[in-house]
Structure 1
Amino acid sequence: MSLALSVLDLVPVRSDQTTGDALAATLDLARAADRLGYRRYWVAEHHNMPAVAATNPPVVIGLVASATERIRVGSGGVMLPNHAPLVVAEQFALLEAAFPGRIDLGIGRAPGSDPVTSWALRHGAGGVSDEAVTHFPEYVDNVLAMMEPAGVGLALRGGQHVLKATPAALSVPQIWLLGSSDYSARLAAEKGMPYVFAHHFSGSGTAEALELYRSTFQPSPELDAPRTFLTVNAVVAPTAEQAHRLALPQLLQMLALRTGQPLVAQRSVEDAETIVDAGLPEAHDSLVEAMRRRWVIGDPSTARADLERLAASYGVDEVMVNPVAGAFRGADPRTSSARERTLALLAS
């Protein structure tokens, strides 16, 4: 591929799927991405959502890496305030040891869930939500240091103690900062780390965040120049009409999320069409249309041209595609054929 392509996967759960079905479909999708030459496969962290099974990135990464041979596998991302830095370092050091040279650790600052679930994640482990966010830069440094083969020294009770994420590391994962505001752009530039803006989710502020990152970047021993790529939601089918139909279930999911409606498992294409045909409120209809314009939806040649245009516009040589195509009634619950087809048509 002249333009490197990667995959972002939230492990969506359709109304006809169990969690096990959704994971089986993700493993098939990952195998397809590996076979088609995609560069990396990242999974997200979201909690307590009826349509998302990606609650624990390290577990899913282990499954995906075991099911594939070549592709880099990582988190897009681990929401660090939800976890103790040592735990994250241990998890990803083990993954890197098992799959050397194939693991990415993408770190984010957002909660990845509603306030109640965030409280359960953080207070349940003895943490305090506000403190975890406030100390985010320090926690990032801790993760980086603990995964180094030499570990990091910890002064405690008058003595010096060494903390290592794993006893005998030969390599460390590639570590990225992720964000949907300028906060992580500034922090990544300051620390000399790779950075990705969540264009697929935010849709605005991408150019400003990337310019801030590039213009204020400070080289580090790990990275001598800014490194970033673009994320985008995509649905590709043999015809544009088919692609737009397949995009409807996820468009309604995002509409519910943005307007505070109850979240449900992802609907079938037919059920989504019934809702849209009945008529959406004018404000909701305009929001759906705005999202539709930001996504890449269409036939293969149009979609590929859109990706090339976006990459040129934002000055990147890699695009991470979130394949959000839905499914028709009666589809095999353990596969996501329309998502796989999106990847195949983009790569061909």
Structure 2
Amino acid sequence: MTALALSVLDLVPVRSDQTTGDAIAASVGLARAADRLGYRRYWVAEHHNMPAVAATNPPVLIGMLAGATERIRVGSGGVMLPNHAPLVVAEQFALLEAAYPGRIDLGIGRAPGSDPVTSWALRHGGGGVEEDAVARFPEYVDNVLAMMEPAGVGLALRGGQHVLRATPSATSVPAVWLLGSSDYSARLAAAKGLPYVFAHHFSGAGTAEALELYRSTFQPSPEADAPRTFLTVNASVADTAEEAHRQALPQLLQMLALRTGQPLVAQRTVEDAETIVAAGLTEAQEGLIDAMRAKWVIGDASTAREQLAALAASYGVDEVMVHPVGGALGGTDPRTAPARVRTLELLAG
């Protein structure tokens, strides 16, 4: 494992015993643990209007997490660019890079990260049209890159040339990554010469094909002279395999609800999740859970490390981004996430 770099993906989950403030405090503690344990980067996602996810605004969270840590790179996994004006994203991340130079990653995605009503509210409120925002995604990526450059970008407006800069006196820019779960994002990242991450943790399907497409069609650019990628994976690691599987249950039930159109709720405690499973699931539900388990890393430290090493070797990457999904027992301090911290500790060795 010494050659395999590990990073962290965090959705800032909200448990049934937590307020939003509690969930943020738990994530700050997790980021500090990742920093202490030598993890390479810590990314936060963008999701909206979900009862179990507090990661609605990556730039705000990144500022808090970077300020609470010392060494680790902090970034977005990712900012859903069609939801935002490119200039706003460029300004946010230029300021973060200025405050924490060399520690900021801007991961950009194309998916809405929310339900259709919330997507409409995000884009309509900003004066955009959803279809236009998605169709113009490649242009938006170019705009963000150009606006963050220290020299800015020239805009022709009303017969004159105007310089637009994301921040007045930048000396560096954040690293930009494209994120995706389809061939579209792999092709775009390769064409623009950007580092690329496939959302393996979300479905685990099509990863090899997307990475091969990205690598085989990559065009060097100022951002990257060669293909650069890593994997994301859900993980629940504990002192015993039995406990790791037990702690994975709350997140498994969350994903089951998401994929079958059931109402979403705050993340259950381990005991509450066990009660639901004990009451009985349908054969189809059990099949979905078993399929998800097979693609996650769940087990004790030795088994989990072997799984991560095999995953990295299979896809030819030297970095894996772990999404720690372990749930909490009833009575756990709501401002902590001990199972998620333990996952990072055991994987770090």
Which TM-score band applies after superposition, normalised by the shorter structure?
over 0.9
Query: Where does residue 89 of structure 1 map in the other structure?
Result: 90
In structure 2, C-alpha distance between the alignment counterparts of 1:30 and 1:323, rounded to whole Å: 12
Query: Where does residue 275 of structure 1 map in the other structure?
Result: 276
Q: TM-score, normalised by structure 2?
A: 0.99
Structure 1 residues 281-314: Cα deviation after superposition (integer angstroms, max 9, x where no partner): 1111100000000000000000000000000000
In structure 2, C-alpha distance between the alignment counterparts of 1:30 and 1:162, rounded to whole Å: 37
Query: Where does residue 264 of structure 1 map in the other structure?
Result: 265
Q: How does 1:36-51 map onto structure 2 within 5 Å?
A: 36-51=37-52
Counterpart secondary structure, 2:156:
strand
Segments of 5+ residues of structure 2 without an aligned counterpart are none
Query: Where does residue 200 of structure 1 map in the other structure?
Result: 201
Q: TM-score, normalised by structure 1?
A: 1.00
Structure 1 residues 258-284: Cα deviation after superposition (integer angstroms, max 9, x where no partner): 000000000000110011111111111
Shift of 1:124: 1.0
Shift of 1:202: 1.9
Amino acid at match of 2:136: H
Query: Where does residue 160 of structure 2 map in the other structure?
Result: 159
Structure 1 residues 312-345: Cα deviation after superposition (integer angstroms, max 9, x where no partner): 0000000000000000100000000000000000
Counterpart secondary structure, 2:266:
coil
In structure 2, C-alpha distance between the alignment counterparts of 1:153 and 1:142, rounded to whole Å: 11
In structure 2, C-alpha distance between the alignment counterparts of 1:235 and 1:306, rounded to whole Å: 12
In structure 1, C-alpha distance between the alignment counterparts of 2:282 and 2:114, rounded to whole Å: 26
Shift of 1:125: 1.1
In structure 2, C-alpha distance between the alignment counterparts of 1:96 and 1:168, rounded to whole Å: 12
Shift of 1:195: 0.2
Query: Where does residue 238 of structure 1 map in the other structure?
Result: 239
Amino acid at match of 1:275: I
In structure 2, C-alpha distance between the alignment counterparts of 1:203 and 1:223, rounded to whole Å: 26
Query: Where does residue 184 of structure 2 map in the other structure?
Result: 183
Are residues 1:317 and 2:342 paired?
A: no
Report runs of 4+ in structure 1 exceeding 6 Å deviation.
Answer: none
In structure 2, C-alpha distance between the alignment counterparts of 1:328 and 1:222, rounded to whole Å: 44
In structure 1, C-alpha distance between the alignment counterparts of 2:303 and 2:18, rounded to whole Å: 31
Shift of 1:45: 0.1
Structure 1 residues 193-212: Cα deviation after superposition (integer angstroms, max 9, x where no partner): 00000000021000000000
Query: Where does residue 348 of structure 2 map in the other structure?
Result: 347
Are residues 1:117 and 2:103 paired?
A: no
Amino acid at match of 1:112: G
In structure 1, C-alpha distance between the alignment counterparts of 2:166 and 2:291, rounded to whole Å: 44
Identity %: 84
In structure 2, C-alpha distance between the alignment counterparts of 1:247 and 1:280, rounded to whole Å: 16
Shift of 1:221: 2.0
Counterpart secondary structure, 2:232:
strand
Shift of 1:235: 0.3
Shift of 1:106: 0.1
Shift of 1:2: 2.2
Amino acid at match of 1:322: H
Q: How does 1:275-314 map onto structure 2 within 5 Å?
A: 275-314=276-315
Structure 1 residues 43-85: Cα deviation after superposition (integer angstroms, max 9, x where no partner): 0000000000000000000000000000000000000000000
Shift of 1:223: 1.1
Shift of 1:222: 2.2
In structure 1, C-alpha distance between the alignment counterparts of 2:203 and 2:56, rounded to whole Å: 21
Query: Where does residue 17 of structure 1 map in the other structure?
Result: 18
Are residues 1:147 and 2:143 paired?
A: no
